[in-house]
Amino acid sequence: MFDLNQLNPQQRQAVTHGAGPLLLLAGAGSGKTRVITCRIAHLVQQGTSPEQILAVTFTNKAAREMRERVQEMTGRNAVKGMTISTFHSLGVQILKSHIDRLGFKRNFSIYATSDQLRLVRELLREAGADSSNRDAEQMIWRISAAKNRLIDAGQYQPTLRDPLSHLVATIYPRYQKALKAYNAVDFDDLLLLTVRLLEGQSELLAHYQQRFVYQMVDEYQDTNPVQYQLLKLLAGGHKNLCVVGDDDQSIYAFRGADISNILDFEKDFPGTRIIKLEQNYRSSATILAAANQLIANNRQRRPKTLWTSSPAGYAIDYLRCEDSEDEARQVVELIHAETFRHQRKFSDFAILYRTNTQSRAFEEQLRYDNIPYVLIGGQQFFDRKEIRDLVAYLRTILNPADEVNLLRIINYPKRGIGENSIDQIIRRSAEQNAGIWQLLQQPEQFDGIGQKTLTAIAEFVALIKSYQSTFKNPLRLLDTLRQLLNELKLADEIYRQEKDPQTAQRRIENQNEILNSLGAYIERNERPSLAGFVDAISLLDADPAGKDDKEKLLSGNTVTLMSLHSSKGLEFPVVFLAGMEEGFLPHKKSLDVTCDIDEERRLCYVGITRAEQRLVLLGARQRRKHGKLELREPSRFLAELPQQLLATRQAGVPADDGEEQQEKSANQFFQQMQQLLG
Ligand SMILES: Nc1ncnc2c1ncn2[C@@H]1O[C@H](COP(=O)(O)OP(=O)(O)OP(=O)(O)O)[C@@H](O)[C@H]1O
Ligand SMILES: [Mg+2]
């Protein structure tokens, strides 16, 4: 049950704020997310119907956690009716019902990065440009940046100063045209098309404005222009929009998020009520003091100081390690010591780093020591080739106009449709301006394709069609997928291609794992469908914290490894912040531009403020790069922390004095506790 007395006076004001725009600006750990969940519970308690509530969060994981918190207060039935989702899944929800008004079919595919890459490389080739993966990635990045700033293909303007922009101006429209022909959209379209749809259809917009009577947005500082436009549209009528954020934690400028959105809010929503929260409930006084002092070095910020009533707690450790392996060893040793001495669970620990490649040494050491861990981000389950192949089948079954996926599987596993035949079909498709799937229905019209191939094509078409109908039965989704796996005999193909039998075995197990994933999806959803499942998979990709099979793992007792970007909004009793070196944090990309250093500092601030009781900073003296050892400098941010709170030691040197310091802090801690308790 929900009780207003669990909140401090400012939080209570925000929770009970009635109609009209509300901006909650507050530092890390001050209860912003808690205000949102309590506000939802309060609204329901006051009689608001759950269907009228919309809450938008940054990651799937955050959305799931929010749902759980709300459920604890309101019960399961109320939560079911609410829309608590990410921007992207809100986009999917709206587009799934109305995208036909934009000339797409409702069974559209959502393209993940790898699908985009295939398509853009093809377009670059056609345009006679370089079509390496790197060039294609750059192109995708530029198109994405344009979409995040609400620039459609037709509006894109190349500039003289920017040579690449001319190629973007050529490729972007062709890319959109191809997507439309394939009845596919990319992640950014999920937002941009939703905005265009609502802008163009006033009665539809009115419908959503009236439906979502109360709207809430977490991590508001990281919304980019297209997301902001969506918010402005949805809240346009009643303006019951409550956004919460922290300018000190804005870490997505590189994706077009801009702190000015905080200033714009007051302009776009006149009469906004602003509430500040200043008490931090998450971290020890020591950790909070370090965070405050660090972030004070940023020039452009709204000045604020967080305070806490928590005791000082432990000193912050800074371990100067020898190299990556040593750094990983130190972390694992400390995990052992902490679990032993303080009865901590593995899930109390998080290892944070700036770049995903830093995870390797930690993974190896954790595996070596048999410590269960979960890696968030990086190459994950649904990124693996064998999974992508299988998902390509599901996508083709749902939407055979999706030629990127159709071509991926037309001869996988090998069924005798050779490259020459495929080339001919593609050529014909361009000449006749007809879709490939359409042409495949009458393969006789191709001259020069042998009888055997024609039979293979006919069989392929029949296979897809038969699963199109069997997958329609929602009660037999699992059976149908199992049958598809058996019929395709992908295992045989993997054994043929993969020399190492162990790797082959693992890849086959991965494919079978997708059955479990479908099973879990069916359990979670009231009206499961193949399309819903494939959309859910696709959305994991759009998620900075989410490309993975971690969902079920996260609830277990495992150490969490993740990038600083993914750690937003989370909290852990013990945090290891690795790679406190120039080049990592601040990242080398930011070293020439001063304004980017501020963003790196905000990242560091995000990392520090994840810690509740104990923070351990680590850095290496040297690291291997392309096989050569490189000397490393400690991060400048270390010097910006209050030195009296830092317990520095060289790793490899016995940990005695460090331990002593900790004990001393611990003693202080208890003394203060006793004082507090009178
Ligand atoms: N009034 C309160 N009394 C006790 N605990 C609180 C109170 N408000 C928040 N907390 C606790 O403080 C912690 C941080 O809260 P929350 O995650 O909502 O902060 P936040 O402002 O969203 O942080 P971040 O900026 O990192 O997202 C949580 O564990 C939360 O339960
Ligand atoms: Mg939060």
Opening angle at CA 394, ends 459 and 145, nearest 5: 130
Index of the ligand 1 atom closest to the CA of residue 30: 21
In a domain, 346, yes or no: yes
Of 24, 282, 603, the residue with max ligand 1 atoms within 8 A of its CB, to mutate for a pocket test, comes to 282
Q: Do the domain assignments include residue 293?
A: yes
According to the model, what pLDDT value does residue 552 have? Answer: 43
Residues 65 and 200 in one domain: yes
Written as one letter, the residue type at 428 is R
First to last CA, the chain: 31
Residue closest by Cα to atom 29 of ligand 1? 282
**Of 490, 515, 538, which residue constitutes the final position of a domain?**
538
In this structure, are 576 and 476 located in the same domain?
A: no
Structure token digits, residue 536: 């859910």
Task: Check if the beta carbon of residue 238 is closer than 8 Å to that of residue 213.
Answer: yes
Q: Of the bound ligands, which one is closest to the alpha carbon of residue 280?
A: 1
| Domain finish residue from 493, 514, 538 | 538
- Cα(129)–Cα(168) distance, rounded to whole angstroms? 11
3-state class of 194 per DSSP?
helix
Q: Is residue 472 part of a domain?
A: yes
Assigned domain for 59 exists: yes
What is the CA(280)–ligand 1 centre distance, in A? 7
Classify residue 102: in a domain, yes or no. Answer: no
Pair 617, 483 in one domain = no
Domain check: are 462 and 599 in the same one? no
- Binding-site residues for ATP, in ranges, read 26-33
Where the chain has pLDDT below 50, the residues are 545-554, 654-660, 663, 666, 669-670, 673-674, 676-678
3-state secondary structure 267-298: HHCCCCEEEEECECCCCCHHHHHHHHHHHCCC
Estimate the share of the chain in helix, then strand, then coil, as percent rounded to the nearest 5.
60, 15, 30
Distance 283 CA to ligand 1 centre (A): 10
Q: Which of 153, 182, 211 is the C-terminal boundary of a domain? A: 182
> Which residues form the catalytic set?
32-33, 218-219, 249, 610
* pLDDT tens digits, one per residue of 569-611: 999 999 999 999 999 999 987 776 655 899 999 999 999 999 9
> For ligand 1, atom 14, which residue shows the shortest CA distance?
29
Q: State how beta strands 628-631 and 622-625 pair.
A: antiparallel
- In this structure, are 627 and 556 located in the same domain? yes
d(CA 376, CA 364): 15
Q: DSSP letter for 609, please.
A: T
Residue 101 domain-assigned (yes or no): no
155 alpha carbon to ligand 2 midpoint, in Å?
A: 36
- The residue type of 509 is E
Counted domains in the chain: 4
Structure letter (DSSP) for residue 584: B
**Using CA atoms, how far apart are residues 514 and 522, in angstroms rounded to an integer?**
12
Secondary structure class of 620 (helix, strand, coil) = strand
* Domain around 128: 109-182
- Same domain as 325, residue 434: no
Contacts of 121 (CB under 8 A, 6+ apart): 131, 132, 133, 136
For 203, the token pair is: 């009665």
Where is the binding site, in residues? 26-33
- What DSSP string describes 24-73? EEE-TTSSHHHHHHHHHHHHHHTT--GGGEEEEESSHHHHHHHHHHHHHH
- Distance from residue 246's CA to the centre of ligand 1 (Å): 13
Helix (H, G, I), strand (E, B) or coil at 623: strand
Looking from the CA of 321 toward its CB, the CA atoms found within 13 Å total 22
CATH number assigned to the domain comprising residue 174:
1.10.10
Q: How many CB atoms lie within 10 A of CB 416?
A: 14
| Atom number, ligand 1, closest to the C-alpha of residue 246 | 25
Q: So what's the pLDDT on residue 511?
A: 83
Instruction: List all residues whose CB is within 6 A of at least one atom of ligand 1.
Output: 7-8, 11, 26, 28-34, 246, 249, 281-282, 569, 571, 609
Do 554 and 651 share a domain, yes or no? yes
> How far is 83 from 223, CA to CA, in rounded Å?
18
CB 564 within 8 A of CB 355: no
pTM assigned to the model: 0.83
Which pLDDT value is given to residue 310?
94
Specify whether the CB–CB gap between 28 and 246 falls below 8 A: yes
Q: What CATH number has the domain bearing residue 462? A: 1.10.486.10
Location of structure tokens 């997507």: 179
pLDDT value, residue 652: 65
- Both 411 and 475 in one domain: the answer is yes
CATH code at 641? 3.40.50.300
Of 233, 229, 223, 231, the residue nearest 256 (C-alpha): 223
Same domain assignment for residues 489 and 505: yes
| Same domain as 641, residue 565 | yes
CA of 30 to the centre of ligand 1 (A): 5
Check whether residue 87 and residue 48 sit in a common domain: yes
Q: How far is CA 645 from CA 214, 234, 342, 617, 661, in A?
A: 44, 47, 22, 12, 11
* Residues facing 375 on adjacent strands: 561
Whose C-alpha lies nearest to ligand 1, atom 16?
A: 31
Q: Is residue 544 part of a domain?
A: no
- Minimal-distance CA residue to ligand 1 atom 11: 281
Q: Is residue 446 part of a domain?
A: yes
The complex scores an ipTM of: 0.99
Residues 411, 528 within the same domain: yes
